[in-house]
Amino acid sequence: MAKDDLLLRVEGAHAFYGNIHALKGISLQVRRGSIVALLGANGSGKTTTLRAISGLLPLRRGEIWFEDKPLTRRSPEKIVALGISHVPEGRQVFGDLTVLENLRIGAFLRKDLRGIREDIGCVYTLFPRLRERSEQAAQTLSGGEQQMLSIGRALMARPTLLLLDEPSLGLAPVLIEQIVDTLETIRGAGTTILLVEQNSEIALSISDYAYVLETGRVVLEGLSSTLLDNEQIKSSYLGLEQGIPD
């Protein structure tokens, strides 16, 4: 991997929730322009890894580098300003605000009003249903529409790297298919994606590389196509028959 292609490095990351040792020396890399998946059972450290990258959970030990800039002691706001947006599990839209107001909040660090208007139009092109519901309160949207809004809001920051936590959770199959298509469109437009996804088959089918986590450690990694085709790996680590809970 050429150094210029390396966008994100996590090296020996240790993180705690109180006395619970949630990350136990995790290391991973994300190449520019790729989709990388984090897989594993509930409690394996997937969400914690995203929270550590976005500055929501400080590391006890280890380092995180983004475009060769250290993230470890930066605030979440400064990490957003560097080009990382985080879409958390559970959507977490601002329910009392309209769709349009939610999108504008996603651009809170930006001053280019014309660019913000253009990007709102791009989000509406990506998710036409949001345009139709532009003046509706976010809490009145369906689960799928709220997921579209949470992704659209994150894109308003013009991120270089998008952190996505369980984008298909609780969605009907037709909406999952739409979200998957959208992720491929986002990647095609130049945004790199680090994806946590409960449906490992979907995650491996759209990602380039994957890491399998177990109790806060990386136990397996490789090209997604290789992991998807290996029956022993699927049955031992990925749980493709029943899916992986988060």
Residue 24 lies in a domain: yes
pLDDT tens for the chain, 246 residues long, are: 455 699 999 999 999 999 999 999 999 999 999 999 999 988 899 999 999 999 999 999 999 999 999 999 899 999 999 999 999 987 789 999 999 999 999 999 989 999 999 999 999 999 999 999 999 999 999 999 999 999 999 999 999 999 999 998 888 888 888 889 999 999 999 999 999 988 888 999 999 999 999 999 999 999 999 998 878 777 776 765 443 333
pLDDT for residue 244 = 34
Helix (H) or strand (E) holding 186: helix 173-188
Range of the domain at 29: 3-90+160-238
Residue 141 lies in a domain: no
- Give residue for tokens 């270089």: 160
Q: At what angle do helices 113-126 and 143-155 cross, to 10 degrees?
A: 150
- Angstrom CA distances, 217 to 35, 203, 230, 234, stand at 20, 19, 21, 18
Residue 36 lies in a domain: yes
Alpha helices in 75-172 (DSSP H): 76-82, 99-106, 113-126, 128-132, 143-155
CATH number of the domain residue 61 falls in? 3.40.50.300
Number of structural domains (the chain) is 1
pLDDT for residue 96 = 94
pLDDT for residue 198 = 81
How many residues can be counted in the chain? 246
C-alpha torsion sign, points 201, 203, 205, 209: negative
Residue 151 lies in a domain: no
| Angle in degrees, CA 74, 193, 97, rounded to 5 | 75
DSSP class of residue 156 equals T
Q: What is the pTM of this model?
A: 0.91
Residue 153 lies in a domain: no
pLDDT for residue 241 = 44
Residue 170 lies in a domain: yes
Residue 216 lies in a domain: yes
Residue 103 lies in a domain: no
Interatomic CA distance for residues 55 and 20, integer angstroms: 18
